[in-house]
A = this chain, B = another copy of it.
Amino acid sequence: MRGKVVRAKSEDTRKAILDAAEKLFSQAGFHGVSMRAIAVEAAVPQGLLHYHFGNKEGLFDAVLARRVVPLVERRVALLERRLAEARGGRPSIEAIVDAFFRPLMELGREEAGIHYSRLIAMVVNATDPRSRDLTRRYFDTMAKNYIAAIRQALPGLDEADAAWGYYFLMGAGIVSIARSGRIEDLSEGACRADDIDAVLARVVPYCAAGLRGIAGAAEINADITRSSLGRKRHA
């Protein structure tokens, strides 16, 4: 019983450190935050950060790892449900795009989730090896599932175009969860990144139509290729 109490205290400490690190890393990135600053924010001695997480990279990884599995599971489960609901026929591309965005945006309903999703936006768009490794490790499987689902909804898309489409989908996701203040500036306050329903109401039609647009462009390109090949044969 005493062991349990001690364990609980330790877990509280770890949580306080992770919460503080999540908040500060999401604001200034890996190099923009010091272990000292995290310790102060968490109100724990600096030594504990090293005791629990080894070094700064271990802490950063732990911050990311803490929430990524449930997040990815929610998104994959929702995708699978949407695919199952479309049994027999094709799933609608809107249903798939919505499954991609909804659990991600829902993070933003809580303070900690805002920090966490900001951090994801930073990591998945960064170019350094650490970020690229983390992105691959945590998101590759999910991404492949979504690309396959997109192709199921839009059979006209080939593998490459579906990858491009997913890539731009990611782009809309990145700005939507970054909360950079940009949409407030662009709209002079009329639009707000924290209005999750408003974001979903725009980003889903945008990306769904965008994916259809790529499919349409691919067909047009194919037509041009066919007719120019035809012309060549006649020449």
- Interface residues in chain A, defined as those with a beta carbon under 8 Å from any beta carbon in chain B: 26-32, 118, 121-122, 124-128, 131-132, 135-136, 140, 143-144, 147, 159-161, 163-168, 170-176, 178-183, 185-187, 190-191, 198-199, 201-203, 205-214, 216-217, 221
Q: Which 9 A-B pairs have the closest CB atoms?
A: A209-B213, A205-B217, A210-B210, A171-B171, A171-B175, A163-B187, A31-B31, A206-B210, A31-B32
Give the nearest-CB partner of A170 in chain B: B175
* Copies held by the complex: 2
Contacts of A221 on B, CB cut-off 8 Å?
201
* Interface contact A118-B127, CB-CB below 8 Å: yes
* Interface contact B180-A171, CB-CB below 8 Å: no
Dominant secondary structure of chain A at its interface with chain B: helix
* Interface contact A201-B178, CB-CB below 8 Å: no
Contacts of A161 on B, CB cut-off 8 Å?
202
Sample 12 A-B pairs with CB under 8 A, ordered by A number.
Answer: A26-B127, A28-B128, A30-B32, A32-B128, A125-B178, A127-B178, A147-B186, A163-B190, A164-B203, A167-B191, A206-B213, A209-B209
Contacts of A122 on B, CB cut-off 8 Å?
125-126
Report Cα–Cα, A31/B144, bound state, in Å.
33
